[in-house]
Amino acid sequence: MACNSHFAENFLKSTTKQFEYYKMLGEKAMDQLNDEQLFDVPHEDGNSIAIIVNHLRGNMLSRWTDFLTSDGEKAWRERDAEFENAFKTRSDIDRAWNEGWNVLFEALDSVNKENFDTRVYIRNQGHSILEAVNRQLAHYAYHIGQMVLLARMLKGAEWQSLSIPRGESKTFNAQKFSQEKGDRHFTDEFLEEE
């Protein structure tokens, strides 16, 4: 069954914006921390933000390298090692973070209406493109949520909200409802600030 090209294009555009949004949230959370805080482990069995970045990078490299042609769980992946501290500096973290995201965005750019019906596999489990992309989007949002929570706990009262600050919902909504109705992606305003 051939895919609806309009659906494929809209899906890919929307999910790309969602991935960009979560990438931005992770970056804004990390930007609020000093270098030492990126390596802070909240408890013995916990993960620092640096470790979460290492895991995200490993997952992204595995899932998105040769996305359409090879299993998403690569033989060369060392998943257990992703939960060890592999970095020494903030620049190590930034480099790994960007490496993972670059592979992800290149893979998404390779998907189009002609190959949207390709079956992709993760640990021999077949996925439609839609299922595989949604699986990863949810996984990354989960871990970036952890990063944001850790950063917020580390910053305490100095934390700068990444969404609508407390007590400002009415103002935010009034501004939104003052605009004309139209087709806009909710991430546009956040990504334009970049």
| 10-residue averages of pLDDT along the chain (194 residues) | 76 96 98 97 93 98 98 96 95 98 98 94 97 98 98 96 86 84 76 61
Q: Cα–chain-centroid distance for residue 135?
A: 11
pLDDT tens digits for 23-40? 999 999 999 999 999 999
DSSP conformation letters of 22-51: HHHHHHHHHHTS-HHHHT--SSTT---HHH
pLDDT tens digits for 46-65? 999 999 999 999 999 999 99
Amino acid identity at 11: F
User: What's the topology of domain 5-192?
Assistant: Four Helix Bundle (Hemerythrin (Met), subunit A) (1.20.120)
Domain limits, the chain: 5-192
Q: Which residues, in sequence order, are bridge partners of residue 122? A: 125
